[in-house]
Structure 1
Amino acid sequence: MKIGILLKEGPYNHQASDTAYKFAEAAIKKGHTIDAVFLYNDGVGNVTKMMDPPQDDRNIAARWDALSKQHGVEILACIAASKRRGINDDVIIEGGTITGLGTLTDIAIRNDRLITFGD
């Protein structure tokens, strides 16, 4: 099954980021394809390489970057939400791309499921 993910919550302040990542890992392990992760609203904060969590904490941006590199998952941040939060191409993870909201429609059309995490 081809799956798209919509993540609408920021890192560290809501369980949605961790749950979305663990869902993607589990789906890939079961043989499904995670086509893309679209970050919207506060979700765009998940892919800024400016985060510097304590040594004993998880690095959420590094997780998404690794998922992109290891499994070819597109990590896409909404341009409008990114601009509102001061996120641009200079601060986004290597595996991420800033794109328009129309891309979310494309993800919904080309995948069997679009799973949303966050309010």
Structure 2
Amino acid sequence: MIYTLVVHAAPYQSAAAGTALRFAKAALAAGHDIHRVFFYRDGVYNASALASPPRDEQNIPAHWQQLAQEHGLDMVVCIAAAVRRGVLDAGEAKRYEKLHHNLADGFELSGLGQLAEASLHSDRVITFGGQR
């Protein structure tokens, strides 16, 4: 089975981002493929290099990075949602005349076309943390 995961929730906003991470780990361990993880709306905060949770809490953004590195995951962050929320790569920081960027390694900014393309190449698209 080939999955695409869509994460709408910030890492500490609800259990959704952690659930998506656990699902990804379980799916990969069971021999399934993950075509792409797409971070949308507040889910873009999972890609911030500035996340600094207390030591007794799980560092969800770092765990996404580790999983991506171990399994070669394609982790795409919606560029419109990210820029709106201050999650920038070096190119967008320069474009918007910001002094710094904070997109964590292993994530890339791109558009919704990447989500549409991923849905075409996946057997299932699973969403975590949709609207209330």
Q: TM-score category by the smaller chain?
A: over 0.9
Task: Confirm or deny: 8 A CA contact 2:47 2:87 kept in the other structure.
Answer: no
Mapped to 2, the partners of 1:93 and 1:63 lie a distance apart of: 12
Q: Indicate the residue corresponding to 2:94 in structure 1.
A: none
2:12 is aligned with 1:12:
yes
Q: Indicate the residue corresponding to 1:38 in structure 2.
A: 38
Query: Where does 1:75-114 land on structure 2 (aligned, <5 Å)?
Result: 75-89=75-89, 90-114=101-125
Moved over 3 A (4+): none
Give secondary structure in 1 for the equivalent of 2:22.
Answer: helix
Percent of paired sites with the same residue: 41
Give secondary structure in 1 for the equivalent of 2:13.
Answer: coil
TM-score for both structures, normalised by structure 1:
0.97
Q: Indicate the residue corresponding to 2:72 in structure 1.
A: 72
Mapped to 2, the partners of 1:24 and 1:105 lie a distance apart of: 19
Q: Indicate the residue corresponding to 2:28 in structure 1.
A: 28
The amino acid that maps onto 1:110 is: H
**Count of residue pairs the alignment pairs up:** 119
Q: Work out which of the two has the higher radius of gyration on C-alpha atoms and give 1 or 2.
A: 2
Mapped to 1, the partners of 2:42 and 2:64 lie a distance apart of: 15
RMSD after superposition = 0.7
Structure 2: stretches of 5+ with no match in the other structure: 90-100
TM-score for both structures, normalised by structure 2:
0.88
Mapped to 1, the partners of 2:121 and 2:128 lie a distance apart of: 19
Task: Confirm or deny: 8 A CA contact 2:5 2:125 kept in the other structure.
Answer: yes
Structure 1: stretches of 5+ with no match in the other structure: none
